[in-house]
């Protein structure tokens, strides 16, 4: 059941990225993931597989706190600029998709169901 929940989350993220691609007229790629969801290795692996793209995962899950630390370090003069502080303070790992097209068929079915249920009050 948890795997199904994770897959649904990943499918929804892919759907959102497809909507952004349509509006922005350019593909979304190279997602950066942080926060609570980045703590689950299984969710991150599923997301990489569903997106069929590598993910950059923050080593520090608490991205809001890290962002505050980056800004504070710049404000205190420890770094000359925000990009300098980010380069020094932010670390990511890369999670590659494990199998090309592994979720393509399931995502297509999820998308059909999503469209069919759109507007229903359930």
Arithmetic mean of pLDDT, 77-90: 98
Q: What pLDDT was estimated at residue 119?
A: 73
Q: What pLDDT was estimated at residue 122?
A: 61
Kindly report, residue by residue over 36-58, the tens digit of the pLDDT.
889 999 999 999 999 999 999 99
- Put the strands of the sheet holding 92-95 in their side by side order: 32-33, 55-58, 92-95
Number of domains in the chain: 1
Tokens representing residue 60 in the block:
């520090």
On whether residue 22 sits in a domain, the answer given is: yes
On whether residue 121 sits in a domain, the answer given is: no
Name 58's Cβ contacts closer than 8 Å, sequence gap at least 6. 32, 33, 34, 35, 38, 66, 90, 91, 92
On whether residue 13 sits in a domain, the answer given is: yes
Mean pLDDT of the chain: 93
The residue range of the domain holding 20 is 2-62+96-115
Q: Model pTM?
A: 0.84
């Amino acid at each position: 059941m948890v795997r199904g929940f994770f897959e649904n989350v990943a499918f929804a993220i892919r759907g959102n990225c497809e909507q952004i691609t349509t509006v922005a007229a350019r593909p979304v790629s190279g997602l950066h993931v942080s926060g609570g969801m980045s703590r689950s290795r299984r969710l991150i692996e599923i997301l990489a597989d569903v997106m069929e793209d590598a993910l950059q995962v923050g080593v520090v899950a608490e991205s809001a706190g890290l962002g505050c630390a980056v800004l504070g370090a710049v404000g205190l003069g420890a770094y000359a600029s925000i990009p300098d502080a980010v380069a020094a303070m932010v670390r990511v790992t890369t999670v590659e998709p494990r199998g090309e097209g592994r979720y393509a068929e399931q995502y297509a079915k999820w998308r059909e169901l999503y469209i069919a249920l759109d507007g229903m009050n359930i």
